[in-house]
Chains A and B, each alone.
Chain A
């Protein structure tokens, strides 16, 4: 019943078991999901072992496929060298002068496909389409999923829906893998929707809380708005590309390769391409949280932290980016990226970078800061794709997954062990670096990576995006990218400061949020407030923390604080801050390591002279293995006699290369620049690669450093100003605490404190501090100058709340009013429904008959 169709490569490319059977990567988690749902509750580890095992198996196969893909690419290069070596040895010198050094043939993806279902001659396939991009993302998704599941083992331990949580995580991974390896748009939609469903299930994992349930609905419906675009775009592409695909490639208009080839063939009208790419980009906006539809992503943080980490930062939200990258030729032609057209994608990406970064300033919830940061980084990826920087955008997907996942897991670790399940940075965090050194270290590494500091991963990818945006002629967007980089440094500094530096507040100081939360006075003045229930146990540590504000000698609190030990004795195991367990730290440390190193997969500046290293192009692994080559491919070549045709085909790029050697634009012709020769098709446009320059690298690093300097500078200034007063306050309040020991009542303490000491001595200082707190912390540190905060607030209040939410609310109101009008129809009586159903069907059919007859 099932027939395997192997598409043979045009060149004699090596293949392998892993490449041919890559579909297992997605199938194993799907089976794992079924097993967990079916038998998970009876298993010794409640089904989590199945999830972990299936992700590990996927990762193994994905890695194998990655290695074999690299071998395949290498074999093409060697075979190619032998094939054209003789005939073109004379011109190889000229060739190596061109950008790529040698003509690199297009590497056919390995497509394994079954007919899923067919309808009137149209076959819908289900299978795997393995090329560099999909291999990269397959490995990434399997890897991150595995780590997040390890993290979840401890994080959601004891949850009442533990088994379902792992089931949904596994199904999500399966959906993402299906989408990433899809060979046609129908399969892509399948995976896309599985992810949407899992996102909904996981955001609403704790649905008993109405907020979570609403957030899940919001995420689902917002993404669904975009999904309409996906369906419309797919339909447009099908009707546009089908004839071409049937005639030339023996496939149909849903096939991704056919769509790529059609878009670059010049046969589609520009209007069709614009419509299709706009519709598809709307889908990407919804899924990847781009500007008008970004509102669901911060709310999606209502889900458990592993979910935020896996779905809403590193993998699922890049589905939109992946969609654009996958059928890039459509966008390339549709938005005229080749000629530097100001594309929809680039504009939306640019807006998203700045808007989301500004919004990140005014959030107190650590996960929301990271969520807006994710939105902002996704904006970078879109910006890159929209301006022709395909490879840097994909590279940024790769690096961003590691460091953002790490940041989220660190936030999860903090809330799990440091802040008593709170995510509020202002209320329940602060000073945690002492208690959670490993988490702090990982957080710092990832923050440096996110902000693009030089040896860390984010630098290589983000800087490459910005560099390419500038090199492709988008000067304004280049500056937008730089401003975004500075803003990133600032809000991450704020988040880091509030979380890890300063003094412990709220739960971080061992205080129950519930008991102390309403006591704004105490928390705002960073006076340690002791809950009445745990007074004796909490006191010594609080005292020591308060007493050691200027000094650094409370490291022992991390492990061996006696008060802390005392906490373990009482009913709240995680009452005071402490470092998380090994299962939580293990993924964080691995991710932090990758956040440091993953950038060296494609360090473009090192390949040239920009940093004085000049290691050659060999270090640009992604460029070699992931980016599809832009050489045209002859139609309908079987593997056997491919050599000749390839030789002939090399003539076209040769002339282009020679034109380049003449000093003119090498990008005037070639795939995506001009119509391919008759009998050939292109699968990928000839994208430019910016040559890194030291000056530009220094510029972007300088901007980031400026951002850091501004943020840290304000912080330091503020705390240097404030510290003496604060110490003064604590010195006095120590006496107050002496009274407190007798009174055992914190409100009483507050009254005493206020009446006896503060009112006469400290109150003016306190007032000043309060003023500084309001106007400097919130106004200056938060936004680095009130303008930052104001802009953030303005954007939040006007654009986010009024325009975006207004539009959402307006549509809701319209729906609600219509609903009221139609309410009598909903009588609840089955017979009336039946009458309506049949009556409406009759009327509809009569209308159709009349239309058809006349």
Chain B
């Protein structure tokens, strides 16, 4: 099996995830797109671990999974709070940071 297989698959997932982050308006969907990006990163880590015959890549992949879990927990809590405050989770309504 070629290393390129994994890496290209990861690249495709990553780009789809980026598209999702940019295109989606619903906050939950944006979080899901971020999960896609992280999954792509994990694929890369594991592929490189296999390629170099070194387990460190897998170690990092597990770290990424842990951080992703934390991120989803906090992210969804924030979405809930936004929903409670504004009755909407449309991200384009959140433009208080407008310069």
Q: Are B97 and A831 in contact (CB under 8 A)?
A: no
Q: Which residue in chain A gives the minimum CB-CB distance to B99? A: A826
Partner of A828, one of B22, B25, B30, B98: B98
Partner of A831, one of B22, B96, B98, B99: B22
- Report B92 CB to chain A, min CB distance, Å: 5
Q: Does A835 contact B (CB under 8 A)?
A: yes
Q: Which residues on the A side are within 8 Å of B16 (C-beta)? A: none
Q: Does A854 contact B (CB under 8 A)?
A: no
- Report B41 CB to chain A, min CB distance, Å: 14
Q: Does A830 contact B (CB under 8 A)?
A: yes
Q: Does B23 contact A (CB under 8 A)?
A: yes
Q: Are A829 and B99 in contact (CB under 8 A)?
A: no
Known contacts A834-B21, A838-B18, A838-B22; is A829 also within 8 Å of B91 by CB? yes
Q: Does B95 contact A (CB under 8 A)?
A: yes
Known contacts A823-B99, A838-B18, A838-B22; is A828 also within 8 Å of B94 by CB? yes
Q: Which residues on the A side are within 8 Å of B94 (C-beta)? A: 828-830
Q: Which residues on the A side are within 8 Å of B97 (C-beta)? A: 826, 828
In chain B, residues 15-60, which have Cβ atoms closer than 8 Å to a Cβ of chain A? Answer: 18, 21-25, 30
Q: Are A826 and B24 in contact (CB under 8 A)?
A: no
CA distance A182 to B94 in the complex (A): 47
By size class, the interface of chain B is 10 to 19
CA distance A828 to B93 in the complex (A): 9
CB-based closest 6 A-B pairs: A826-B99, A828-B95, A828-B98, A828-B97, A835-B22, A834-B21
- Report A820 CB to chain B, min CB distance, Å: 9
- Report A225 CB to chain B, min CB distance, Å: 24
- The interface of chain B, by Cβ under 8 A from chain A, is 18, 21-25, 30, 91-92, 94-99
Q: Which residues on the B side are within 8 Å of A830 (C-beta)? A: 30, 91, 94
CA distance A819 to B99 in the complex (A): 9
CA distance A829 to B92 in the complex (A): 5
CA distance A306 to B98 in the complex (A): 40
Q: Are B95 and A829 in contact (CB under 8 A)?
A: yes
9 A-B pairs (CB sep. < 8 Å): A826-B97, A826-B98, A826-B99, A827-B95, A828-B94, A829-B95, A830-B94, A831-B24, A831-B92
CA distance A822 to B98 in the complex (A): 11
Q: Which residues on the B side are within 8 Å of A822 (C-beta)? A: 99
Instruction: Find the residue from A822, A826, A831 having the highest chain B CB count within 10 A.
Output: A831
Partner of B98, one of A819, A827, A834, A835: A827
CA distance A830 to B95 in the complex (A): 8
Q: Which residues on the A side are within 8 Å of B98 (C-beta)? A: 826-828
Q: Which residue in chain B gives the minimum CB-CB distance to A823? A: B99
- Report A727 CB to chain B, min CB distance, Å: 64
Partner of B91, one of A819, A831, A835: A831
A805-836: CB near B (< 8 Å → 1, else 0) gives 00000000000000100110111111100110
Q: Which residues on the B side are within 8 Å of A819 (C-beta)? A: 99
CA distance A825 to B25 in the complex (A): 18
CA distance A819 to B21 in the complex (A): 26
Q: Are A831 and B23 in contact (CB under 8 A)?
A: yes
Excluding A825-B99, A830-B94, 16 further A-B contacts by CB distance (< 8 Å) are A819-B99, A823-B99, A826-B99, A827-B95, A828-B95, A828-B96, A828-B97, A829-B91, A829-B92, A829-B95, A830-B30, A831-B22, A831-B25, A831-B30, A834-B18, A838-B21
Q: Which residues on the B side are within 8 Å of A823 (C-beta)? A: 99
Q: Which residue in chain B gives the minimum CB-CB distance to A835? A: B22
Q: Which residues on the B side are within 8 Å of A828 (C-beta)? A: 94-99
CA distance A284 to B58 in the complex (A): 48
Q: Are A834 and B22 in contact (CB under 8 A)?
A: yes
Q: Which residues on the A side are within 8 Å of B22 (C-beta)? A: 831, 834-835, 838
Q: Which residues on the B side are within 8 Å of A831 (C-beta)? A: 21-25, 30, 91-92
Q: Which residues on the B side are within 8 Å of A838 (C-beta)? A: 18, 21-22
Q: Which residues on the B side are within 8 Å of A825 (C-beta)? A: 99
Q: Which residue in chain A gives the minimum CB-CB distance to B24? A: A831
Q: Which residues on the A side are within 8 Å of B21 (C-beta)? A: 831, 834, 838
CA distance A826 to B95 in the complex (A): 9
- Report B93 CB to chain A, min CB distance, Å: 9
- Report A396 CB to chain B, min CB distance, Å: 48
Q: Which residue in chain A gives the minimum CB-CB distance to B96? A: A828
- Report A846 CB to chain B, min CB distance, Å: 14
- Report B51 CB to chain A, min CB distance, Å: 21
A345-358: CB near B (< 8 Å → 1, else 0) gives 00000000000000
Q: Which residues on the B side are within 8 Å of A834 (C-beta)? A: 18, 21-22
- Report B99 CB to chain A, min CB distance, Å: 3
- Report A539 CB to chain B, min CB distance, Å: 57
- Report A637 CB to chain B, min CB distance, Å: 42
CA distance A825 to B95 in the complex (A): 12
A446-490: CB near B (< 8 Å → 1, else 0) gives 000000000000000000000000000000000000000000000
CA distance A500 to B21 in the complex (A): 69
- Report B4 CB to chain A, min CB distance, Å: 17
- Report B24 CB to chain A, min CB distance, Å: 7
